[in-house]
Structure 1
């Protein structure tokens, strides 16, 4: 390792650089872990949401069935009124 007389490298400077690198890597590891946790949480919430939507779709009435029921109700009301009740 060559030393420049104007900028001598000391053990303290190298230790400070290593400490800064360790702190930066630790911070990045923490951020990565947080992002991974948030990703897993979002995936779990999305799975729950998909299950809820599927359950709602299973319970809903199809539009043609609602139309037929409305038509039968209107027809029976018209017949009832026509018979004078």
Structure 2
């Protein structure tokens, strides 16, 4: 069985204070370590978010360029389409002209009889 030190014994009080001090120091050390780990993780998360933000900004810029039609491929395709539209045959106009010519010839032959 252990005996309780008397509160009036200065050596016992000093020993108990030293134990309390050591317990508090260990607790503070653990807390400091946990806080340092949290700060490190926070910094890593910030760096990762900055990288993601840069990538998102790059994607936004690329999408804006695509929406405005400013890529080289889009410019080539637009120029090619314009050239094709200018060079196509005006088939509806030719068909209407042939139909009117056929009607005119038919009416002329009918009138000649």
- Determine which structure has the larger helix proportion and give its number: 2
Q: Does 1:31 align with 2:34?
A: yes
Q: Which runs of 5+ in 2 are unaligned?
A: 92-113
Q: Does 1:58 align with 2:83?
A: no
Give every structure 1 segment of 4 or more consecutive aligned residues whose post-TM-superposition deviation is greater than 3 Å. Answer: none
Which of these two proteins has the greater Rg computed from alpha carbons? 2
CA distance in 1: counterparts of 2:6 and 2:35, whole angstroms:
36
Shift of 1:34: 0.7
Task: Specify the alignment match of 1:47 in structure 2.
Answer: 50
| Structure with greater contact order relative to length (CA < 8 Å, sep ≥ 6) | 1
